[in-house]
């Protein structure tokens, strides 16, 4: 009990030093909490924005003539629609957002058209919570490319007929400046009817998550290995430009956050250690007197460590709420797309209540060792 009184007296007597130490912990914890919350929001924001680049994996029949594929943009060979469902039965793979498609060039109303049948996305069991990243064409409807619609003067809600299959135009797509401007999208099963290719597709599009580090296989090699296990009849193509953008963006964010957090901890830890050293230097005579009165090194250590513990706990609690408020105030402005996902995280409070006191106690070790190993006669003589 006497040591608790000594700790309290120490705090009251050196309240400026104590408050500055607490402020340093508040700064470190507050920045940690704010940066952690905003870092998660940044990752979510980046992930959602990267989705706008589209799916980066194309799976086509192995027998595809690649020279023709690159000229036309699609395979001249088909494969069973059932192949896409093989992916839906497996967990633990890095593919997601699987979309079975059927493409073929046709003549329609005097125009060359790329007819594309699209099946709603298929998600593996462990990714079933994800929301679709591509549009879904409902049965009986069609999406028309901008150039095709302009050429044929087609408007939204118009009724059209494609090889005897009636469709209603649900949307006129914006100009893309690509072959998509002469594309007619419809539901996969209606495209199969139009082309007389029941239960056939010629491509599966997917999103590769790109969760690889330098020690892993490169994304294409990993994708090929997984495809060999799931669908040996297919050939995988990775859109390298999109893949590299995803990887570089994730790596950049991770390095940036690590740099900021390391600098914050080192800076605040240094401030705490300096304040502890100044406190010991200013208390030489008192430490010497305590030693003369019979207090052992362990008792003096408890006093310094107790003060450090109180400093760490108080700074952790205040820093957590300050950092949370900072993130909740400015996070939605910085990351508007994922603003609703920014929320207080109680697990961070548990974390900082462990490492903040430990951090302060470690930073106080050097002056504490000096205090308990110094000769009390020397300390009193210096004063």
Chain segment 132-170, per-residue pLDDT in tens: 667 789 999 999 999 999 999 999 999 999 999 999 999
Q: Which of 238, 257, 277 is the last residue of a domain?
A: 238
Note whether 198 and 228 are within 8 A (CB): no
Tally of structural domains, the chain: 2
128 and 274 both lie in a single domain:
no
The reply to whether 352 falls in a domain is: yes
On the question of pLDDT at 28 being above 50, the answer is yes
* 318: confidence class by pLDDT, cuts 50, 70, 90: very high
Query: Is 351 found in the same domain as 293?
Result: yes
Q: What is the span of the domain harbouring residue 357?
A: 2-48+248-382
Residue 215 pLDDT more than 50? no
CB 193 within 8 Å of CB 166: no
Residue 243 lies in a domain: no
- In this prediction the pTM is 0.54
Token readout for 189 is 């099963």
Name the band, by pLDDT with cuts 50, 70 and 90, for residue 32. confident
Count of Cβ atoms closer than 10 Å to residue 93 Cβ: 19
CA distance 171 to 376: 87
Domain boundary (238, 267, 297) is at 238
Rg of the chain over all Cα atoms, to the nearest angstrom: 33
Region class of 163: left (phi > 0), else alpha (psi between -120 and 50), else beta: left
Task: Name the nearest CA neighbour of 201 among 282, 93, 99.
Answer: 99
pLDDT band at 212 (very low <50, low <70, confident <90, very high): very low
Q: At 364, is the secondary structure helix, strand, or coil?
A: coil
- Same-domain status, 107 and 16: no
Q: Does position 114 have pLDDT exceeding 90, yes or no?
A: yes
């Amino acid at each position: 009990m006497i040591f608790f009184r000594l700790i309290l007296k120490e705090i009251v007597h050196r309240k400026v030093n104590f408050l500055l130490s607490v402020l340093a912990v508040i700064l470190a914890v507050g920045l940690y909490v704010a940066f952690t919350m905003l870092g998660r929001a940044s990752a979510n924001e980046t992930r959602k924005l990267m989705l706008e680049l589209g799916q980066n994996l194309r799976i086509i029949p192995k027998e595809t003539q690649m020279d023709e594929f690159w000229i036309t943009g699609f395979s001249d060979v088909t494969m069973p629609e059932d192949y896409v469902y093989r992916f839906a039965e497996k967990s633990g793979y890095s593919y997601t957002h699987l979309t079975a498609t059927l493409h073929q060039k046709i003549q329609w109303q005097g125009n060359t058209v790329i007819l594309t049948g699209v099946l709603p996305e298929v998600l593996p069991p462990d990714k079933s919570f994800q929301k679709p990243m591509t549009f879904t064409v409902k049965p009986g409807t069609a999406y028309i490319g901008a150039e095709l619609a302009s050429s044929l003067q087609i408007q939204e809600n118009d009724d059209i007929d494609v090889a005897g299959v009636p469709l209603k135009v649900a949307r006129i797509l914006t100009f893309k400046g690509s072959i998509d401007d002469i594309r007619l999208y419809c539901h996969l099963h209606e495209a199969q009817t139009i082309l007389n290719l029941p239960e056939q597709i010629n491509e599966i599009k997917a999103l590769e998550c790109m969760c690889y580090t330098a020690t892993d296989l490169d994304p294409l090699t990993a994708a090929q290995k997984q495809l060999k296990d799931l669908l040996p009849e297919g050939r995988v193509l990775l859109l390298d430009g999109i893949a590299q953008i995803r990887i570089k963006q994730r790596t950049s964010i991770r390095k940036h956050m690590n740099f900021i957090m390391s600098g914050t901890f080192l800076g605040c830890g240094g401030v705490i250690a300096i304040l502890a050293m100044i406190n010991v230097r200013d208390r030489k005579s008192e430490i010497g007197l305590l030693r003369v009165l019979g207090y052992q090194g362990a008792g003096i250590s408890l006093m310094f460590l107790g003060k450090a513990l109180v400093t760490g706990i108080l700074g952790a609690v205040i820093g957590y709420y300050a950092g949370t408020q900072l993130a909740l105030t400015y996070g939605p402005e910085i990351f508007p797309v994922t603003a609703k996902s920014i929320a207080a995280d109680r697990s961070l409070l548990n974390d900082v209540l462990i490492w903040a006191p430990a951090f302060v106690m470690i930073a106080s070790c050097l002056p504490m060792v000096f205090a308990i190993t110094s000769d009390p006669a020397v300390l009193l003589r210096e004063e």
